Structure 1
């Protein structure tokens, strides 16, 4: 099953300050210009200590980080953007945030790494568990136009979840 990007009402973007997440945020903003959809920038954070005081302070710090990441993306002024910080691991936070029909989850593609041990990947988690289509944007993406379609990773005819280019 494929979708045109114009079919989505909301684009949820995972933002952690990495080059991939900034590229994903810019990509999403380029797609919604002209008021076709809104962008929801989501920043997940985790707390080591769980007291009301520390949680409130860490939430404020996370909100400040998210605002600085959005500022670093230098988005056009005509983009309808909302921001949200979510306490918890990034993968589950993003898949819970992208929970509406008509959502598209856009994430930064992980940078290639040379490691012998497998590592946990937010993008893998999202591709495997999101209820909506997922698009991974590479950090070095210079893409300003949308791909022709986004493949729904839950379609049984698709052997591997990927975005069509």
Structure 2
């Protein structure tokens, strides 16, 4: 069965990708696979928890990050489409490609850098067995810090009633 699969992150582009993926799954009438992978940093598998303890902690953290992304992007996990959350161990690109069940699926990821997608998106575009959609960050997320402050101040000034231009 065809699905929309989204790589979940809390970045502005990742949240935009999550919103797009939910809308696309609803439009197509298919399920949504939400994938957030995790990797244990070298040297972290030692005491006091041991390997299994660290794995459980990282997997739990990945699940919490998926829930937080849904809350931030959409106010919570939608009722439709049916959402299946996956938090596999491993590299993000590999985890997303492993989630694909066939060429009818659609992979959706947020652009990870100023260049068109970052390493995960480039890997998926080159190697994924299905179409890949790379969602750019929202316009305000692409604006450098000082310029953002100027643009927000200018927008607030334009929105203020006449004679009250100060913030």
TM-score for the superposition, normalised by structure 2: 0.69
Aligned match of 2:99: 97
1:77 to 71, 76, 79: 79
- Superposed, 1:4-153 pairs within 5 Å as 9-33=2-26, 36-48=29-41, 49-50=44-45, 51-74=51-74, 76-112=78-114, 121-140=119-138
Q: Deviations over 1:59-85 (max 9, x none)?
A: 111111111112111165333212111
Q: Which runs of 5+ in 2 are unaligned?
A: 46-50, 140-167
Larger fraction in helix: 2
Contact 1:11/1:40 (<8 A) preserved:
yes
Count of residue pairs brought into register by the alignment: 129
Partner SS, residue 68 of structure 2: helix
What is the RMSD computed on CA atoms of the aligned residues? 2.3
CA 1:31/1:120 → structure 2, altered by over 3 Å: closer, same or farther? closer
* C-alpha displacement of 1:17: 1.1
Superposition deviation, residue 123 in structure 1: 0.5
Unaligned residue ranges in structure 1 (runs of 5+): 1-7, 114-118, 142-165
Flag the structure with higher strand content: 1
Q: For 1:31 and 1:15, how far apart are their aligned partners in 2?
A: 15
Q: What is the rounded CA distance, in whole Å, between the counterparts of 2:28 and 2:86 in structure 1?
A: 20
* CA 1:92–1:34: 2 relative to 1, 3 Å: closer
Deviation (angstroms), 1:120: 6.2
Give the 3-state SS of the residue equivalent to 2:87 in structure 1: strand
Q: Give the TM-score of the pair, scaled to structure 1.
A: 0.70
**How far apart, in 1, do the equivalents of 2:4 and 2:124 lie?**
14
